[in-house]
Amino acid sequence: MASAIDPYSACDDEIPTIDYSLLFSNDPHQRSLALEYLGQACHHYGFFYLVNHGIPDKVLDNLFKGISEFFDPMMLEERRALYSKKDPMDRIRWVLNSSSGENREYLKVNSHPNYHFPPNPSCFSEVLGEYHKEMRKIVVGLARAVSKSLGFEEDYIEKAFNLKSGFDVSAMNLYPPNHISKGEMGLAEHTDPGFIITLVQNVDGGFQILSHHGKWINVHIPPHAILIQLGDHLENEVERISVATLHGPSLEKSVRPAPEFVDETHPHAYLGMTYKQSLEANGNDEIDYLQDAGLYESQEEAVKSDDKAGGEGNGKRDELQELGYSA
C-alpha cells in the first residue's frame, strides 16, 4: 500500500512489549492486566514484541543456523539448479532479487496445514518443522488471548477463522549489507494478508513498521523475542536473516465483521468473503501456486468433480485431504 510518508524519516518510538506468560497467569489480577494491555497494543499500535513465549532459545538459534547454511554463498549455483525452475509442481520456492529495486534472496514454503521443507542442508527440514510447530502453539494462544481481551469466549477467533486448518506461508529472507545492496530496499513497502504475522530475526534493526497514525517506526526486536504484526510493515536494507510467517484462516472460511460489533449505528464497513477470495482479490500468488500444482479445490469444485467423475472425484478429494489442503 503506497504512502506519501518518507520511510527514511522513521522514528524510534517505543513499541509495546507483551509478556506471553502473563496472558495465561494463574493470578487472575495479573492475567486481567496483561489481557488489557494486549488489547491496547492491538488497538493503538497493531504490533508488539512478544517475550517469554516459551519457544526455547535453542530452537531459534538452530533455525537461524540452518537458514544461514541454506543461503551459503558457495552453494548459490546449487540453489539455482534445484529451485529456479519455476515448475508449478515444486512446493518449495526460492527467489533471488524478486523485483526491480528490491534486494533479497528468499525461500518460501507453505508451513500449514501441510508443509514441504528443503532436505538440505542436513537436518534443516527437522529444524524448520520444530520451529513452526512451536510457533503454531503461540499463534493459537494469541488467538485465545485476543478473543478474551475483546470480551469473547476464549475460542471465538480460533473457531471464527478455523485456525486448525489455517493457511500459513513462511518466508525465510536473506538481506545483503548496505554496501552491497547500494541503498536498495531489501523489501519495499507492502501489506500482508492473514490473521497475524510473526517475525523473528538474527540481528537488531533493519526494518520499519507503519503505525496507525501514519508514522514509520524503527523496529528493534529484542534477542529471541517475536514481532507480532497486525498491520503494515516495511523492511529496510540492513544485513540480516529474518523469518516472516503469515498465519491465515482456513482458505474456505468466510471472513466478515463479528456480528457482536455490528448494529444499526455501526453497519458493516467491509464485504464478507472467504479468505481465498480475499487473497485472489489482492493478487496473492499463493492461491495460483496451489491451483497450478493441483493442490487446491474449493468445496464447490470438489463437489462438481465428484458429480462428473464419480469415484475419481472421491480419489482426488482423498489426495487433497492427505496433502492437507482440502476444505
% of the chain at pLDDT higher than 90: 27
The average pLDDT across 216-243 equals 68
Residue 58, domain CATH: 2.60.120.330
**Higher per-residue confidence, 316 vs 148:** 148
- Mean pLDDT confidence for 210-214: 73
pTM of the shown model: 0.71
> Alpha-carbon distance 56 to 131, whole Å?
9
Report percent pLDDT > 70 for the chain: 56
> Which residues constitute the domain of residue 86?
7-296
Q: Are residues 291 and 308 in the same domain?
A: no
Highest-pLDDT range among 60-64, 254-258, 290-294, 297-301: 60-64
| Residue 298 exposed, middle or buried by CB count within 10 Å (0-12, 13-18, 19+) | middle
pLDDT of residue 281: 55
| Cell 501456486 found at | 289
Q: Are residues 74 and 214 in the same domain?
A: yes
Among 17-31, 67-81, 211-225, the least confident range? 211-225
pLDDT band at 121, cuts 50/70/90? confident
Shared domain for 281 and 305, answered yes or no, is no
Instruction: For the chain, give the longest Cα–Cα distance.
Output: 63
| Same-domain status, 170 and 310 | no
pLDDT in tens, 42-75: 888 888 999 999 999 999 999 999 999 999 989 9
**Alpha carbon distance 69, 96 (integer Å):** 16
Asked if 297 and 276 touch (Cβ cutoff 8 Å), the reply is no
Judgement on whether residues 155 and 203 belong to the same structural domain of the protein: yes
* CB neighbours of residue 300 within 10 Å: 10
Cα–Cα nearest to 318, from 308, 307, 306:
306
CB within 8 A of 78, min separation 6: which ones? Answer: none
Q: Residue 40 falls within a domain, yes or no?
A: yes
User: What is the pairing mode between strands 17-19 and 47-51?
Assistant: parallel
The secondary structure element, H or E, covering residue 196 is strand 196-201
User: Is 248 within the bounds of a domain?
Assistant: yes
Look at residue 267 and tell me whether its pLDDT is greater than 50.
Answer: yes
In this predicted structure, the answer to whether residue 235 has a pLDDT above a threshold of 50 is no
Whether residues 235 and 107 fall in one domain: yes
CA 291, chain centre distance (Å): 20
> Which residues have CB under 8 Å from 214's CB, separation 6+?
3, 5
In this structure, are 310 and 270 located in the same domain? no
Higher-pLDDT residue of 1 and 210 is 210
Same domain, 117 and 195: yes
Asked whether residue 64 is assigned to any structural domain, the reply reads yes
DSSP for residue 302: H
Mean pLDDT of 89-93: 70
At a CB cut-off of 8 Å and minimum separation 6, what does 205 contact?
Answer: 218, 219, 220, 238
User: Is residue 290 pLDDT above 90, yes or no?
Assistant: no
Domain co-membership, 320 together with 197: no
Q: How far apart are CA 6 and CA 18, in angstroms?
A: 28
Instruction: Give the cell for residue 171.
Output: 518466508
For residue 71, which phi and psi values (nearest 5 degrees)? -90, 20
Residue 26: the pLDDT is: 97
- The pLDDT of residue 304 is 47
- Which residues lie across from 229 on neighbouring strands? 47, 197
Cα distances from 84 to residues 50, 91, 98, 243, 307, in angstroms, run 35, 12, 12, 20, 38
Q: How many residues are listed for the chain in this entry?
A: 327
Angle at 2 between CA 197 and CA 196, to 5 degrees: 10
Instruction: Decide if 2 is inside a domain.
Output: no
